[in-house]
Structure 1
Amino acid sequence: MEQVSTENLLLAGSTLLVAGVLAGKSSHRVGLPLLLIFLLTGMAFGTDGLGMQFSDIHTAQSIGMVALCVILFSGGMGTKISSIRLVVAPGLVLSTVGVLLTALFTGLFIWWLSGMSWTNIHFPLVVSLLLAATMSSTDSASVFGILGAHKTGLRHHLRPMLELESGSNDPMAYMLTIVLIEAATTDTSLSVGHVVGELLMQFGVGIAGGFLTGRLTVWLASVYRRLGGAASDSEDPAQAVAMTAILIVGCVFFSFAATTALGGNGYLAVYLCGITVGNGRVVGHRGIAKFIDGITWLAQIVVFLMLGLLVNPHEMLSVAAVSLLIGVFMIVVGRPLSVFCSLMPFRSVGRRSKLFVSWVGLRGAVPIIFATYPVAAHVEGASQIFNIVFFVTILSLLVQGTTVMAAARRLGLVERQEVSDDHFGVEIPDELPTSLHTLTLTEAHLANSDLLRDLELPQGSLVIMIRRGGRYIVPNGRRRLQPSDVLLIIRED
């Protein structure tokens, strides 16, 4: 067998990465989710496209594991406790009970399909439930990516609820997948006590491990800043932020590995570690967040391109009909039924909100990664499971991913946000006792005078930039203001 040189690997990998990024630039123009573009790019370069060969399931699992750790940590780091406080209960119920019900309803439907003479799948009950379990969680990368691409707000705290659910429901789907693989490969019956015990162990150790490693990460970041005493004051600030960010990335993988070794759920630990770090006091937080955001995008691009290479599109044709039925059932019946059942105790969540949450049941990289586990475990029918999951993921991204905000508008859940949080790309050091804010002017603000010097602002506030349409204006006291001008204000804390 001819050995592939490092140079050829770098050539193929760099070409694929550049092609994916350039193709992704057109996502808004063609109306497709960005991550779907990366998936399709991988397929275009794969076996049935340009012929690039990749079929190593174990390597795919390892890459997927690393990418998922980064994605979940980033999602946790961007989750503010203040924003999810009101939706913690429904969000966690969706990420646990909702996932379980989705797997149960969809698994029973797949089992029913398997008994039909006209279908080409014949899965026993356990394997049917296994197939459903791999697809039972919403994909955090897809949800974060699609919601983050739209600056429009959502009513009733729906955005933090959906982000909390998508960031915390992968552990439940992972546990169900592992337990059902064990049942399918060892010919042992499922014991309710065994399953409950495993879940309690995984979640208990995962929660403890996540919070402990999160606190450890915050402490280590502060220790790094103090090392060297006065000598650290002369350290290049950019280098300090970069090194702190690298230290945090190391702690992310430590959190996953240590928690998994102790019998807990590493994915849950990583997400909770991210929440702890994101809400802790870490010097250079903004720079670190940008660094993490960059490697998160890299992780998402790599994993979607890799999964696109892994699939052979011609093999999906044999299961296209049944995959379409399963996908439509999940979108129209399975997900909505599980959402309405899960949120039944929460009367504050209205019917329109439940319908929207049902529609944002996006599948993505995580279900496909989980679908590689049956293949690696040599479960009977594993290749069909993988192809069905891949087909359903594409269907979900095409149908649901392209209509998320349209559904929100149709249900009357869109909320206009007058305040922008982009801060014009300006950053200030975290050490300074100041903060940046933006204010969009209205007629009421200019009722008495349109001069900047006459504008009433809180004490300790200073306008440092004005945005008018696509122009940026340096302010002075004699500057005349107009409605819809956006002011960038620095304020003493």
Structure 2
Amino acid sequence: MVAAVSLDHILLVSALLLLASVLVSRISDRLGVPALVVFMGLGMLAGSDGPGGIYFDDARVAQGLGVVALVIILYSGGLDTDWRKVRPVLWQAVSLATLGVALTATLVGLFAVVVLELPPLIGFLLGAIVSSTDAAAVFSVLRAGGVRLRERLRSLLELESGSNDPMAVLLTVGLIELILQRAGGLELAGLFVKQLGLGVLLGFALGHLMAWVLRRLAPQNNGLYFTLSLALALLCYSVVAVLGGSGFLAVYLAGLVVGQQDLRDEADLRLFHEGLAWLMQIVMFLALGLLVFPSQLPPVLLEGTLSALFLILVARPLSVLLSLWWFRLPWNELLLVGWVGLRGAVPIVLATFPLLAGVAGANQLFNLVFFIVLSSVALQGPTLNAVARRLGLEEPPTPRPGEPARRQPAP
């Protein structure tokens, strides 16, 4: 009989993992490795296959943690997004978040069917799961990784990553319904329209309502004021999700609306949500790392490597080109947007959907997705500065007061 673990031991282990994540992230910044890889690696080390020996295989708990974390991360990302900067790239981001995601899913699905010889629906399910860029990964690399991109490109990438998850969720859920023969094509089309329509309309409407509440009904105590803001974000997601809309899209748009309002203690409010978003990133990636059993990864090593390379070098760049060609962007900007296709927690959270639905082969699919995500963040994140510099798209550092601006070398 296994002895019950006391709450004190759980708190001790949790505190040590959080402390290790924060401290090791400083080293990762110096080495150019995204902190998200570190968090996930610590989770794997703490898991049953690592020295930590913590056994965790509850996909439902991991999925729940992932959803809550993504709500908080997306809301914080919306708060920090300046509408004046993203407005010029709005339709480009919309094209990437819809057509680009669908094209990526299709290309990866074809690769999985033809090269990996997966059954057609399972292959396209893999494509759908890894089709969207990840807001947590993109925000982390662009905002905390010292990457200095031109403002327009930075806004495009952040807006895309914050708004493209609904398409990936819809494709994933739709394909699972088709595999389990629980829905047809017309029903899925109706679900798609309902999810996006309610997500957009309610996101903007609830965002204005949340801003009004924060201005007129907020308590004077700052602690309660910040708690009210968090409660409103969670309420926004859950209301839209219960009504059948895309809660992820709604909460990001609501954060975008609230972030443009003149609120009390705006800087402190953003700082509170930024800190909370980092906490949720750590918790989410630790939990997802615990959920993975490294001993099960070697059998998918070859398939995972081929899939990751195809996604990074073919599917993402080609989907970007086809999604943005009519906007007539310079070729170097297209190449950079194609390279910043970081995958992160969203695909891993989506990979728990077929696990919980009982789809045949879901465990192999989960391991493939994890390997693809790890390869994407580890390869694309650290090289972003170098690629931007090579393409001539790196923003020069802002000079300190009294310091002359550094001259740029001639091309």
The aligned counterpart of 1:358 is: 338
Q: Structure 1: how far apart are the matches of 2:364 and 2:124?
A: 14
User: Which secondary structure state, in structure 2, belongs to the residue aligned with residue 15 of structure 1?
Assistant: helix
Instruction: State how far apart, in whole Å, the 2-side matches of 1:82 and 1:333 are.
Output: 33
Q: 2:173 aligns with which of 169, 172, 178?
A: 178
Which residue matches 1:328? Answer: 309
- Matching residue of 2:122: 127
The answer for the alignment partner of 2:78 in structure 1 is 76
2: CA distance, partners of 1:310 / 1:138: 21
More helix by share: 2
TM-score (norm 1): 0.79
Q: Which residue of 1 aligns with 2:36?
A: 35
Q: Structure 2: how far apart are the matches of 1:152 and 1:113?
A: 35
Matched residue SS, 2:326: coil
User: In the alignment, which residue of structure 2 is the partner of 1:216?
Assistant: 209
| 1:103 correspondence with 2:105 | yes
Extract unaligned runs of 5+ from structure 1.
Answer: 116-122, 228-234, 421-438, 444-482, 485-493
Question: Where does residue 403 of structure 1 map in the other structure?
Answer: 383
Go from structure 1 to structure 2 and tell me whether the alpha carbon gap of 1:70 and 1:126 turns closer, same or farther (over 3 Å shift): same
Give the deviation of 1:185 after TM superposition. 1.6
SS in 2 for 1:55: coil
Tell me the CA shift for residue 11 of structure 1.
1.9
Cα distance between partner residues in 2 of 1:370 and 1:203: 18
The structure whose Rg is larger is: 1
Give distance in 2, aligned partners of 1:87 and 1:241. 35
Alignment of 1:14 with 2:15, yes or no, is yes
- Structure 2 counterpart SS, 1:172: helix
* Counterpart in the other structure of 2:131: 136
Contact 2:236 2:247 in 1 (8 A): yes
Alignment of 1:297-376 (within 5 A): 297-347=278-328, 349-376=329-356
Q: Which whole-Å CA distance do the structure 1 matches of 2:108 and 2:140 have between them? A: 26
Q: Which has the higher contact order (CA 8 A, sep 6+)?
A: 2
CA shift for structure 1 position 82:
0.3
Contact in 1 for aligned 2:34/2:145 (Cα 8 Å): no
| Shift of residue 63, structure 1, vs aligned partner | 0.6
Give 3-state SS (helix, strand or coil) of 2:33's partner. Answer: coil
Task: Indicate whether 1:242 and 2:223 are aligned.
Answer: yes
Q: Write the deviation string for residues 130-164 of structure 1: whole angstroms up to 9, x where unpaired.
A: 11111100011111111112455423710000000
In 1, are the aligned partners of 2:116 and 2:303 still within 8 Å (CA)?
A: no
- 1:24-54 CA-partner distances (Å, limit 9, x unpaired): 2210233311111111111111111121111
Match of 1:266 among 211, 236, 247: 247
1:416 CA drift (Å): 1.3
Find the counterpart in structure 1 of residue 199 from structure 2.
Answer: 206
Deviations 1:410-445 (A, max 9, x none): 10111214367xxxxxxxxxxxxxxxxxx55549xx
Question: Percent same amino acid among aligned pairs?
Answer: 42
Aligned to 1:159: 154
CA distance in structure 2 between the aligned counterparts of 1:91 and 1:320, rounded to whole angstroms: 33
**CA contact under 8 A between 2:203 and 2:250: conserved in structure 1?**
yes
State the 1:2 CA deviation. 4.0
Q: Hey, what's the Cα distance between the residues in 1 that align with 2:320 and 2:147?
A: 23
Of 17-26 and 248-257, the range deviating more from structure 2: 17-26
Residue matched to 1:388: 368
Partner of 2:396: 416
1:113 equivalent in structure 2: 115
Asked if structure 2 preserves the Cα contact closer than 8 Å seen for 1:79 and 1:278, the reply is yes
Contact 2:109 2:125 in 1 (8 A): yes
User: Is the CA contact 2:108–2:307 (under 8 Å) kept in the aligned structure 1?
Assistant: yes
Q: 2:99 is aligned with what amino acid?
A: V
Tell me the TM-score normalized by structure 2.
0.95
Following superposition, the deviation at residue 224 of structure 1 comes to 2.7
Which structure has more strand as a fraction of its residues?
1
Counterparts of 2:188 and 2:327, CA distance in 1: 27
Q: By how many angstroms is 1:21 displaced?
A: 1.7
Shift in alpha-carbon separation, 1:13–1:84, aligned structure 2, 3 A = same
Confirm or deny: 8 A CA contact 2:215 2:263 kept in the other structure.
Answer: yes
Q: Deviations over 1:175-216 (max 9, x none)?
A: 11111111112276x51x333221110011111121122111
Q: Is the 8 A contact 2:141 2:147 kept in 1?
A: no
Kindly indicate whether residue 62 of structure 2 is the aligned counterpart of residue 60 of structure 1: yes
> Are the equivalent residues in 2 in contact too, given 1:152–1:417 (CA < 8 A)?
no
- Match of residue 50 from structure 2: 49
Distance 1:15 1:124, change over 3 A: same
Q: CA-to-partner distance for each residue in 1:255-297, whole Å, 9 max, x for gaps? A: 1110011110100111011101111121111111111011000
- Tell me the CA shift for residue 102 of structure 1: 0.2
Q: Work out the CA distance in 2 between the residues paired with 1:43 and 1:27.
A: 17
**Structure 2 letter corresponding to 1:326:** S
Cα 1:308–1:198 shift into 2, 3 Å? same
Partner of 1:428: none
Task: Specify the code of the residue in structure 1 equivalent to 2:90.
Answer: V
Aligned residues: 405
Give yes or no for contact 1:76–1:272 (8 Å, CA) kept in 2.
yes
